Amino acid sequence: MKTSKFLFVAAAFALLALWPLMAGQYGVDLVTKIMVFAIFALSLELLVGSTGLVCFGQAAFFGIGAYATVLLTPQDGAPSLLWLLPTCVLLAAFYALLVGALSLRTKGVYFIMVTLAFAQMAYYVVHDTPLGGGTDGIYLMSKPVLGTLLDLDKPQAFYGFTLACLVGVFGFLTLLLRSRFGRALAGIRVNEQRMRATGFSTYPYKLAAFVISGGIAGLAGFLFAVKDGFVNPELISWHLSGEVLIMIILGGLGHLRGALIGAFAFALLQEFFKSEAIFGEFAKHWHLGLGLAIIASVALLPRGLVGVPDQVITRLRGRSGRVREDALTEVSHG
């Protein structure tokens, strides 16, 4: 990671660490929610931006992690974080293993449709059966604890734990993508046929990335369930898969920083267009404003928000170059 990129990420995480000291309860709650979705966005970035696999069923793994959190919590007391969190992540990863083992045998639009089909299967399991409480959803009876050290029922403690998870996931994926495994994924994204020709069996690499991605999405689902204390089938709907895909496109595909920026930008745009103080009655139609803003950003920023600095520098260099050329022309004609 270049120095400028490292400083940006370090400054962002430092600001998040200091945020509870500067913001009120609403601000802390909002940023906690955004950090959960940033973890979710990082999970999809591993597939789409780093491996070239456009998955439209990522919400299934997110929802499984959330539902497992609620269903595995005992009725008579707070569960231990030490067993509940790994179990939820492993269940999401296991479903990702099943989905990936079948869907990765297809390519292109067929891969997209198969992942969507598996997500819809999971959706209807919780939507139409008593297991997931149907359309009403189910409530989390008690939030997990880690002995006397950590109680996730406390907003400040949960904020710190979510931030630690975000930093851990970001660091893990950074190391993963810089490893031999990560370079193999980059090669698959650029030209899978050439990777096969050089002797790489690409299927195991793609399956491993799919399982890791599912596990990270399950972690985000766990955090979401603990934060809200409630889950419903909308957590597995294709709408959520679409939203997280928009996040990484908005931030900039191929960059872990882009997933973070995209998650924050998407959530803040939602809050902006929902504001009745700014838009009055039009705030009821916030989807329209959000859609127009996303269309404009994609049209004007093809590399996403993460590419804005380079785009500005390129334009400034172009202007300075034109100024020098004009000056030389005037001198030659003078």
Domain boundaries, the chain: 3-260, 301-334
Any residues with CB less than 8 A from the CB of 131 and at least 6 apart, and which?
A: 71, 125
Q: What is the CATH number of domain 3-260?
A: 1.10.3470
CA quadruple 67, 71, 76, 80: dihedral positive or negative? negative
**Cα 59 to Cα 37: distance, rounded to the nearest angstrom:** 11
pLDDT at 322: 60
Question: Token pair of 96, please?
Answer: 């990702």
Q: Are strands 150-151 and 145-146 parallel, antiparallel or unpaired?
A: antiparallel
Residues whose CB is less than 8 angstroms from the CB of residue 316 and which lie 6 or more positions away in sequence, other chains included:
none
pLDDT for res 331: 46
| C-alpha span between 59 and 234 (Å, rounded) | 9
Q: Are 111 and 53 in contact (CB under 8 A)?
A: yes
Q: Token pair for residue 92? A: 């999401």
What single letter denotes the amino acid at residue 170?
Answer: F
Any idea what the Cα angle at residue 173 is, between residues 7 and 37, rounded to 5°? 85
Residues in the chain with pLDDT values less than 70: 1, 318-334
Q: What is the pLDDT of residue 305?
A: 86
Say how many C-beta atoms besides its own lie within 10 A of residue 213's C-beta. Answer: 28
Spatial distance between the Cα atoms of 146 and 84, rounded to a whole number of angstroms = 11
How far apart (Å, rounded) are the C-alpha atoms in residues 101 and 83? 27
The pLDDT assigned to 5 comes to 80
Task: Give yes or no for a contact between 156 and 20, defined as CB atoms under 8 angstroms apart.
Answer: yes
The answer to whether 239 and 63 have CB atoms below 8 angstroms apart is no
pLDDT value at position 329? 55
Q: Are 58 and 213 within 8 A, CB to CB? A: yes
Question: How many whole angstroms separate alpha carbon 126 and alpha carbon 103?
Answer: 22
Q: What percent of the chain has pLDDT over 90?
A: 54
- Please tell me the pTM assigned to this model: 0.91
